[in-house]
Structure 1
Amino acid sequence: MKNFVVFIAICCIIGLSESISKEQRMEMFVKVAKECAEEEGASAVDVDELVAHKSASEKGGKCIRACLAETVGMIKDQVDIEGVSNLAAMAFDGNPTKIQVAKNLANECADITDPDRCEAAAKIMECGQNAAKSRGLNFEDLNNN
Protein backbone atom coordinates (compact mmCIF):
# COMPACT_ATOMS: atom_id res chain seq x y z
CA MET A 1 0.00 0.00 0.00
CA LYS A 2 1.31 3.42 -0.85
CA ASN A 3 1.77 5.73 2.02
CA PHE A 4 -0.39 8.80 2.37
CA VAL A 5 2.17 11.58 2.17
CA VAL A 6 4.02 10.13 -0.80
CA PHE A 7 0.79 9.60 -2.70
CA ILE A 8 -0.44 13.15 -2.25
CA ALA A 9 3.05 14.51 -2.94
CA ILE A 10 3.16 12.63 -6.23
CA CYS A 11 -0.25 13.99 -7.15
CA CYS A 12 0.70 17.56 -6.42
CA ILE A 13 4.18 17.48 -7.92
CA ILE A 14 2.99 16.17 -11.25
CA GLY A 15 -0.24 18.10 -11.40
CA LEU A 16 -2.23 14.99 -12.27
CA SER A 17 -2.71 16.09 -15.83
CA GLU A 18 -4.74 13.55 -17.77
CA SER A 19 -2.41 14.15 -20.73
CA ILE A 20 0.60 12.86 -18.82
CA SER A 21 1.15 9.13 -18.91
CA LYS A 22 1.76 7.05 -15.81
CA GLU A 23 5.38 6.60 -16.90
CA GLN A 24 5.84 10.35 -17.34
CA ARG A 25 4.33 10.97 -13.90
CA MET A 26 6.76 8.49 -12.36
CA GLU A 27 9.70 10.11 -14.16
CA MET A 28 8.68 13.52 -12.81
CA PHE A 29 8.24 12.14 -9.31
CA VAL A 30 11.64 10.43 -9.38
CA LYS A 31 13.23 13.70 -10.53
CA VAL A 32 11.74 15.66 -7.63
CA ALA A 33 12.59 12.85 -5.19
CA LYS A 34 16.20 12.92 -6.38
CA GLU A 35 16.30 16.68 -5.88
CA CYS A 36 15.04 16.23 -2.32
CA ALA A 37 17.55 13.40 -1.82
CA GLU A 38 20.39 15.67 -2.92
CA GLU A 39 19.16 18.46 -0.67
CA GLU A 40 18.86 16.06 2.27
CA GLY A 41 22.07 14.14 1.64
CA ALA A 42 20.15 10.90 1.10
CA SER A 43 21.38 7.85 -0.80
CA ALA A 44 20.17 6.13 -3.96
CA VAL A 45 18.81 3.35 -1.73
CA ASP A 46 16.67 5.94 0.07
CA VAL A 47 15.23 7.09 -3.28
CA ASP A 48 14.67 3.49 -4.41
CA GLU A 49 12.71 2.75 -1.23
CA LEU A 50 10.57 5.83 -1.79
CA VAL A 51 9.83 4.94 -5.40
CA ALA A 52 9.02 1.34 -4.39
CA HIS A 53 6.64 2.64 -1.68
CA LYS A 54 8.67 1.01 1.07
CA SER A 55 9.14 2.45 4.52
CA ALA A 56 12.35 4.40 4.93
CA SER A 57 15.07 2.26 6.47
CA GLU A 58 17.49 5.15 7.06
CA LYS A 59 17.36 8.77 8.16
CA GLY A 60 17.94 9.98 4.59
CA GLY A 61 14.80 8.25 3.38
CA LYS A 62 12.77 9.83 6.14
CA CYS A 63 14.20 13.23 5.25
CA ILE A 64 13.27 12.82 1.57
CA ARG A 65 9.69 12.28 2.67
CA ALA A 66 9.85 15.33 4.92
CA CYS A 67 11.22 17.39 2.03
CA LEU A 68 8.43 16.25 -0.31
CA ALA A 69 5.70 16.87 2.27
CA GLU A 70 7.06 20.31 3.12
CA THR A 71 7.50 21.20 -0.54
CA VAL A 72 3.85 20.50 -1.33
CA GLY A 73 2.53 22.12 1.86
CA MET A 74 1.33 19.01 3.67
CA ILE A 75 3.49 19.40 6.74
CA LYS A 76 4.35 22.51 8.72
CA ASP A 77 5.76 21.12 11.97
CA GLN A 78 2.84 18.66 11.83
CA VAL A 79 0.10 17.75 9.34
CA ASP A 80 -1.40 20.85 7.73
CA ILE A 81 -5.07 19.92 7.26
CA GLU A 82 -5.74 22.87 4.97
CA GLY A 83 -2.71 21.96 2.85
CA VAL A 84 -3.84 18.35 2.60
CA SER A 85 -7.35 19.47 1.69
CA ASN A 86 -6.03 21.74 -1.07
CA LEU A 87 -3.79 19.01 -2.44
CA ALA A 88 -6.58 16.45 -2.33
CA ALA A 89 -8.85 18.83 -4.24
CA MET A 90 -6.20 19.06 -6.97
CA ALA A 91 -5.31 15.37 -6.88
CA PHE A 92 -8.88 14.15 -7.00
CA ASP A 93 -10.20 16.74 -9.46
CA GLY A 94 -12.58 18.20 -6.88
CA ASN A 95 -14.26 14.86 -6.04
CA PRO A 96 -15.85 15.66 -2.64
CA THR A 97 -15.90 12.03 -1.44
CA LYS A 98 -12.21 11.49 -2.11
CA ILE A 99 -11.31 14.89 -0.67
CA GLN A 100 -13.17 14.03 2.52
CA VAL A 101 -11.34 10.70 2.80
CA ALA A 102 -8.01 12.52 2.54
CA LYS A 103 -9.11 15.05 5.17
CA ASN A 104 -10.28 12.28 7.50
CA LEU A 105 -6.93 10.51 7.21
CA ALA A 106 -5.06 13.77 7.75
CA ASN A 107 -7.17 14.60 10.81
CA GLU A 108 -6.41 11.20 12.28
CA CYS A 109 -2.70 11.98 12.07
CA ALA A 110 -2.87 15.71 12.83
CA ASP A 111 -1.52 15.50 16.38
CA ILE A 112 1.66 13.62 15.48
CA THR A 113 4.79 15.64 16.08
CA ASP A 114 8.47 15.08 16.66
CA PRO A 115 11.28 17.58 17.23
CA ASP A 116 13.09 15.97 14.29
CA ARG A 117 11.26 16.86 11.05
CA CYS A 118 12.39 13.66 9.35
CA GLU A 119 11.12 11.48 12.18
CA ALA A 120 7.87 13.47 12.23
CA ALA A 121 7.35 12.80 8.51
CA ALA A 122 8.02 9.08 8.99
CA LYS A 123 5.56 8.90 11.90
CA ILE A 124 2.91 10.82 9.96
CA MET A 125 3.28 8.51 6.97
CA GLU A 126 3.04 5.44 9.16
CA CYS A 127 -0.10 6.88 10.74
CA GLY A 128 -1.58 7.58 7.29
CA GLN A 129 -0.82 4.04 6.15
CA ASN A 130 -2.40 2.55 9.25
CA ALA A 131 -5.44 4.82 9.01
CA ALA A 132 -5.98 3.88 5.38
CA LYS A 133 -5.42 0.18 6.06
CA SER A 134 -7.93 0.22 8.93
CA ARG A 135 -10.50 1.54 6.45
CA GLY A 136 -9.58 -1.01 3.79
CA LEU A 137 -8.28 1.72 1.50
CA ASN A 138 -5.65 1.50 -1.19
CA PHE A 139 -4.53 4.80 -2.68
CA GLU A 140 -4.35 3.30 -6.16
CA ASP A 141 -8.14 2.85 -5.85
CA LEU A 142 -8.61 6.44 -4.71
CA ASN A 143 -6.68 7.73 -7.70
CA ASN A 144 -8.89 5.86 -10.16
CA ASN A 145 -12.03 7.70 -11.27
Structure 2
Amino acid sequence: MAKLVLIVAFCILNAAVSKAAFNKEEAIKNFMTNVEECRGEVGAAASDIEDLIKKAPAASKEGKCLRSCMMKKYGVMDDGGKFVKSVALEHASTFTDGDAEKMKTANEITDACAGIAEPDDQCEAAEVYSKCFMEQAKAHGLDKFEF
Protein backbone atom coordinates (compact mmCIF):
# COMPACT_ATOMS: atom_id res chain seq x y z
CA MET A 1 0.00 0.00 0.00
CA ALA A 2 2.78 2.39 0.81
CA LYS A 3 4.24 1.94 -2.65
CA LEU A 4 0.90 2.95 -4.13
CA VAL A 5 1.39 6.47 -2.82
CA LEU A 6 4.67 6.81 -4.66
CA ILE A 7 2.91 6.07 -7.89
CA VAL A 8 0.29 8.65 -7.24
CA ALA A 9 2.64 11.18 -5.65
CA PHE A 10 5.31 11.20 -8.29
CA CYS A 11 3.40 9.67 -11.11
CA ILE A 12 5.23 7.99 -10.03
CA LEU A 13 8.21 5.90 -9.85
CA ASN A 14 6.44 3.11 -11.67
CA ALA A 15 5.66 4.27 -15.14
CA ALA A 16 7.45 1.46 -16.80
CA VAL A 17 4.22 -0.19 -15.90
CA SER A 18 2.41 -1.83 -18.73
CA LYS A 19 -0.54 -4.14 -18.93
CA ALA A 20 1.88 -6.91 -17.97
CA ALA A 21 2.74 -7.70 -14.36
CA PHE A 22 4.51 -4.92 -12.50
CA ASN A 23 8.27 -5.25 -12.61
CA LYS A 24 9.91 -3.13 -9.91
CA GLU A 25 13.41 -3.33 -11.38
CA GLU A 26 12.17 -2.26 -14.80
CA ALA A 27 10.13 0.54 -13.22
CA ILE A 28 13.15 1.90 -11.37
CA LYS A 29 15.29 1.69 -14.52
CA ASN A 30 12.62 3.52 -16.53
CA PHE A 31 12.21 6.09 -13.75
CA MET A 32 15.92 6.87 -13.70
CA THR A 33 16.01 7.18 -17.50
CA ASN A 34 13.13 9.63 -17.34
CA VAL A 35 14.76 11.55 -14.49
CA GLU A 36 17.92 12.01 -16.54
CA GLU A 37 15.94 13.10 -19.59
CA CYS A 38 13.97 15.60 -17.52
CA ARG A 39 17.10 16.77 -15.75
CA GLY A 40 18.58 17.72 -19.10
CA GLU A 41 15.37 19.36 -20.29
CA VAL A 42 14.92 21.60 -17.24
CA GLY A 43 18.49 22.08 -16.05
CA ALA A 44 17.92 20.36 -12.72
CA ALA A 45 20.83 19.69 -10.38
CA ALA A 46 21.70 16.45 -8.63
CA SER A 47 20.24 17.96 -5.46
CA ASP A 48 16.88 18.38 -7.23
CA ILE A 49 16.87 14.66 -8.03
CA GLU A 50 17.78 13.88 -4.43
CA ASP A 51 14.82 15.98 -3.22
CA LEU A 52 12.51 14.09 -5.58
CA ILE A 53 13.73 10.68 -4.45
CA LYS A 54 13.64 11.66 -0.77
CA LYS A 55 10.07 12.93 -1.24
CA ALA A 56 11.17 16.35 0.02
CA PRO A 57 9.77 19.65 -1.27
CA ALA A 58 11.62 20.99 -4.29
CA ALA A 59 14.26 23.51 -3.23
CA SER A 60 14.53 25.25 -6.60
CA LYS A 61 12.53 26.26 -9.64
CA GLU A 62 14.41 23.58 -11.60
CA GLY A 63 13.40 20.99 -9.00
CA LYS A 64 9.76 21.95 -9.42
CA CYS A 65 10.13 21.77 -13.20
CA LEU A 66 11.75 18.35 -12.84
CA ARG A 67 8.58 17.16 -11.11
CA SER A 68 6.41 18.69 -13.82
CA CYS A 69 8.44 16.99 -16.52
CA MET A 70 8.21 13.64 -14.73
CA MET A 71 4.46 13.97 -14.22
CA LYS A 72 4.07 14.67 -17.93
CA LYS A 73 6.25 11.71 -18.92
CA TYR A 74 3.98 9.46 -16.90
CA GLY A 75 0.85 11.09 -18.24
CA VAL A 76 -0.52 12.25 -14.92
CA MET A 77 -0.10 15.90 -15.89
CA ASP A 78 -1.34 17.09 -19.25
CA ASP A 79 0.37 19.66 -21.45
CA GLY A 80 -1.71 22.38 -19.79
CA GLY A 81 -0.42 21.49 -16.31
CA LYS A 82 -3.61 19.79 -15.13
CA PHE A 83 -3.64 16.59 -13.09
CA VAL A 84 -5.01 13.60 -15.01
CA LYS A 85 -6.68 11.48 -12.35
CA SER A 86 -7.67 8.66 -14.70
CA VAL A 87 -4.05 8.02 -15.70
CA ALA A 88 -2.88 8.11 -12.08
CA LEU A 89 -5.53 5.53 -11.22
CA GLU A 90 -4.48 3.34 -14.16
CA HIS A 91 -0.93 3.33 -12.80
CA ALA A 92 -2.22 2.58 -9.31
CA SER A 93 -4.37 -0.27 -10.58
CA THR A 94 -1.48 -1.85 -12.43
CA PHE A 95 0.88 -1.41 -9.50
CA THR A 96 -1.58 -2.87 -6.97
CA ASP A 97 -3.01 -5.56 -9.23
CA GLY A 98 -6.36 -3.80 -8.82
CA ASP A 99 -6.61 -4.61 -5.10
CA ALA A 100 -9.98 -3.13 -4.08
CA GLU A 101 -8.85 -1.74 -0.71
CA LYS A 102 -5.71 -0.17 -2.15
CA MET A 103 -7.68 1.29 -5.03
CA LYS A 104 -10.15 2.79 -2.56
CA THR A 105 -7.25 4.62 -0.92
CA ALA A 106 -5.85 5.62 -4.32
CA ASN A 107 -9.23 7.07 -5.26
CA GLU A 108 -9.44 9.01 -2.01
CA ILE A 109 -5.97 10.48 -2.52
CA THR A 110 -6.51 11.34 -6.17
CA ASP A 111 -9.96 12.81 -5.45
CA ALA A 112 -8.50 15.09 -2.81
CA CYS A 113 -5.68 16.27 -5.05
CA ALA A 114 -7.63 16.49 -8.29
CA GLY A 115 -9.88 19.14 -6.82
CA ILE A 116 -7.21 21.58 -5.68
CA ALA A 117 -6.59 24.89 -7.39
CA GLU A 118 -3.21 24.85 -9.04
CA PRO A 119 -1.09 27.76 -10.24
CA ASP A 120 -0.90 28.55 -13.95
CA ASP A 121 2.84 27.89 -13.88
CA GLN A 122 3.20 24.17 -14.57
CA CYS A 123 6.31 23.80 -12.45
CA GLU A 124 4.54 25.38 -9.49
CA ALA A 125 1.47 23.23 -10.20
CA ALA A 126 3.60 20.06 -10.03
CA GLU A 127 4.91 21.15 -6.65
CA VAL A 128 1.37 21.83 -5.39
CA TYR A 129 0.27 18.37 -6.53
CA SER A 130 3.32 16.73 -4.97
CA LYS A 131 2.63 18.47 -1.66
CA CYS A 132 -1.01 17.38 -1.79
CA PHE A 133 -0.05 13.75 -2.49
CA MET A 134 2.38 13.72 0.41
CA GLU A 135 -0.16 15.28 2.78
CA GLN A 136 -2.80 12.79 1.68
CA ALA A 137 -0.36 9.90 2.09
CA LYS A 138 0.28 11.01 5.65
CA ALA A 139 -3.45 11.44 6.31
CA HIS A 140 -3.98 7.86 5.13
CA GLY A 141 -1.17 6.54 7.34
CA LEU A 142 1.21 6.08 4.44
CA ASP A 143 3.85 8.62 5.39
CA LYS A 144 6.65 6.09 5.88
CA PHE A 145 7.01 4.42 2.53
CA GLU A 146 9.81 3.37 0.23
CA PHE A 147 10.03 2.39 -3.35
Provide TM-score, normalisation by structure 1: 0.80
Matched, 1:103 2:107: yes
Give the alignment's Cα RMSD to 1 decimal.
2.6
Distance apart, 1:25 and its partner CA:
4.5
Are the equivalent residues in 1 in contact too, given 2:15–2:31 (CA < 8 A)? Answer: no
Residue aligning to 1:10: 13
Letter aligned with residue 37 of structure 1: R
1-structure distance, mates of 2:22, 2:140: 28
2-structure distance, mates of 1:20, 1:78: 27
The 5 Å alignment of 1:34-53 reads: 34-53=36-55
Secondary structure (helix, strand or coil) at the match of 1:48 reads: helix
1-structure distance, mates of 2:45, 2:106: 30
Are the equivalent residues in 2 in contact too, given 1:12–1:90 (CA < 8 A)? Answer: no
The 5 Å alignment of 1:1-145 reads: 4-6=8-10, 8-13=11-16, 20-21=24-25, 25-76=27-78, 77-112=81-116, 113-138=118-143, 140=145
Distance apart, 1:63 and its partner CA:
0.8
Deviating more after overlay: 90-99 vs 111-120: 90-99
1-structure distance, mates of 2:143, 2:21: 21
2-structure distance, mates of 1:138, 1:93: 21
1:48–1:92: structure 2 CA closer, same or farther, 3 Å change rule? same
1-structure distance, mates of 2:30, 2:144: 19
1:90–1:40: structure 2 CA closer, same or farther, 3 Å change rule? same
Letter aligned with residue 44 of structure 1: A
Distance apart, 1:30 and its partner CA:
2.2
Deviations 1:35-69 (A, max 9, x none): 11111121122112212322210011111111111
2-structure distance, mates of 1:94, 1:139: 22
Distance apart, 1:27 and its partner CA:
4.2
1-structure distance, mates of 2:77, 2:24: 27
Residue ranges of structure 1 left out of the alignment (5+ in a row): none
